[in-house]
Amino acid sequence: LNKLYSSSARKNSSSSSSSGGKKPSTSTGGSSSSGSGSSSGGNTIYKGSVSSLLSVAQSKIGCRYVKGAKGPNSFDCSGFVYWCLRQVGVNQSYWTSSTWRGNGKYQKISSMSAIQAGDIVVFGNGLNHVGIALGGGSMIDASSGDGCIRITSLSKAYWVSHFYAAYRVIG
């Protein structure tokens, strides 16, 4: 996977729109790991690989923060989440942090203690920010303060006080 998602990997130049099941379906069955989704009770869960999402995200550590950027070498927080999800086959349109807060598409996780690796972590209370949970109490995000993609601890009081919810996109 590291080679597949490394910066030296060749990108597919095909512009075919038949991408093999990357859009969510409305069925509730199946345990495929092809990136397809299933919907149940208004919550879509993509049956992809959390480890692939985390690998893609970690491959961008150190890339520059640029407001409004959506990759592949510079990002803002929303652009980073958008780009990472798209790389692993989640056909999700670009959402700002405020759009994430209002979504009913994915399973909402209301407690920080229930966050799992791969969840999209959303912050509010005066802070518009999103990141990707790495597990073990860490998050990877595009930080305007640090000016780059970095890993930070979710247990910091700052994050705890601004936590809104997390969303389980891949499960």
Is 121's pLDDT higher than 50? yes
Q: Which of 63, 77, 84, 119 is catalytic?
A: 77
User: For 1-10, 17-26, 45-54, which range has the lowest pLDDT when averaged over its residues?
Assistant: 17-26
Q: Is 20 left (phi over 0), alpha (psi -120 to 50) or beta?
A: left
Nearest to 158 by CA among 139, 134, 132: 139
What value does the mean pLDDT take over residues 153-168?
A: 97
Given 63, 76, 119, 129, which residue is catalytic? Answer: 129
- Annotation says 77 is catalytic: yes
- Annotated active-site residue in 63, 76, 119, 141: 141
Active site (annotated) includes residue 148: no
pTM: 0.76
Report residue 30's pLDDT band, with 50, 70 and 90 as the boundaries: very low
**Residue 162 annotated to the active site:** no
